[in-house]
A = this chain, B = another copy of it.
Amino acid sequence: MSASKEHWVLTFVCPDQKGIVHAISGAVVEIGGNITESQQYTSLDTGRFFMRLQIEANITKEAFGKQFEEIAARFNMTYVLDHVGRKMKTLVLVSKAGHTLNDLLFRQRSGLLPIEIPLVVGNHPDLASMAEFYGINFEHIKIDSGVDKAQFERHLRQVIEKENIELIVLARYMQILSPQFCSDYAGRIINIHHSFLPGFKGANPYAQAHARGVKLIGATAHFVTEDLDEGPIIEQNVTRVEHSDSKQLLVEIGQDAESKTLTQAVKWFAEHRVLLDGQRTIIFR
């Protein structure tokens, strides 16, 4: 079967060595393709080579994969091949605050964010109507105790499997996930931290920011790991504040940075622009 003007995105990581680009570009030539975007990075810290390509080629995914397999084996590559613009299956967890969810849903519906959200799960019911407005399923699951949390996570695991979830977004979800859950889905859970990391960690960073008299407040989107707030950083933004800004206004100003930062991180992830290099992220913008 054939297709006209199919666009592919290919990302891979491998030990750095000579000849990688030549081998890859050779495979592209052989399938009659054209490289339309290309970014690479060699990590001096880990000796690994990272690359992201967009390729125009009339070929099936199977045929492309076959062509690429031998090279991947030769260079010991970990790779991902996907259609450009395919919507990534995303599960969103929320609590009460709706600003980040609103931004995600509005942009997803506007076609600006290549994700598909089969379900939003909240440990409070507050955001049900917002999800409903955007035609997205909402589940309210109360969490009161450790037992509930275990049950909750078992349920999430079922949803993830059933819906083929590829990305889990904590959109101001105020609960902590278990270390086992974080570890099982490492590199696939993105959280928005309402502070500039490193910096004020844990609860109520805005009160801390006020007490310390900082002149800039910020937000950090990061992968979730077992160490709270210590996962690899994907994106950060800051905004200027004044001595006269109340704690309430700091929260409000911070919410803008939170929405913008989380949406950006999700977009890059869904476009296969985020690769991991130990504790650091490589962002191919």
A residues near B (Cβ < 8 Å) are 18-19, 21-22, 25-26, 28-29, 32-42, 44, 98-99, 102, 106, 110, 112, 129, 133, 196-200, 210-216, 218, 232-238, 242-244, 246, 252, 256, 260, 277, 279-283, 285
Please give the count of copies of this chain that the complex contains: 4
Assess the A213–B233 pair: CB atoms within 8 A: yes
B243 touches A280 (CB 8 A): yes
A107 to B: closest C-beta gap in Å: 9
Which B residues lie within 8 Å of A34 (CB)? Answer: 18
Closest Cβ–Cβ distance, residue A174 to chain B (whole Å): 17
Given the interface pairs A25-B21, A110-B99, the reply to whether A212 lies near B280 with Cβ below 8 Å is yes
State in angstroms the CA–CA spacing of A260 and B133 once bound together. Answer: 23
Residue of B with least CB distance to A253? B112
Query: Contacts A252-B112, A281-B243 given: A212-B233 contact, CB under 8 Å?
Result: yes
Complex A-B, nearest 6 residue pairs according to Cβ-Cβ distance, in ascending order = A213-B280, A22-B25, A133-B133, A21-B25, A215-B236, A243-B282
A282 nearest CB neighbor, chain B only: B243
| B-side contacts of A252, CB under 8 Å | 112
In the complex, are the beta carbons of B196 and A216 less than 8 A apart? Answer: yes
Smallest CB–CB gap between A274 and chain B, Å? 10
Interface of A (DSSP majority class): mixed
With the chains together, A19 CA to B256 CA distance in Å? 38
**Contact, CB under 8 Å: A236 / B256:** no
Q: Is the CB of B22 within 8 A of A18?
A: no
Judge whether A42 and B38 touch: CB under 8 Å.
Answer: no
A212 touches B279 (CB 8 A): yes
CB contact under 8 A between A198 and B212, given known A18-B32, A18-B34, A102-B106: yes
Shortest Cβ distance from residue A74 to the other chain B in the assembled complex, whole angstroms = 14
In-complex Cβ contact of A106 among B99, B260, B279 (8 A): B99
Chain B residues with Cβ under 8 A from A25's Cβ? 19, 21-22, 25
- Cα-based distance from A21 to B232 in the complex (angstroms): 32
Of B26, B42, B213, B242, the contact of A232 (CB 8 Å cutoff): B213
Residue pairs across A and B with Cβ atoms less than 8 A apart, 6 shown, are: A21-B25, A22-B22, A38-B38, A198-B200, A198-B212, A213-B233
- Contact status B243-A215, CB under 8 Å: no
A213 contact set on B, CB distance < 8 A: 232-233, 277, 279-281
Most buried by B among A110, A198, A200, A237: A198
* Known contacts A22-B26, A22-B29, A213-B281, then 7 further A-B pairs from the complex at CB < 8 Å, ordered by chain A residue: A18-B33, A21-B38, A22-B28, A26-B26, A102-B106, A198-B198, A215-B283
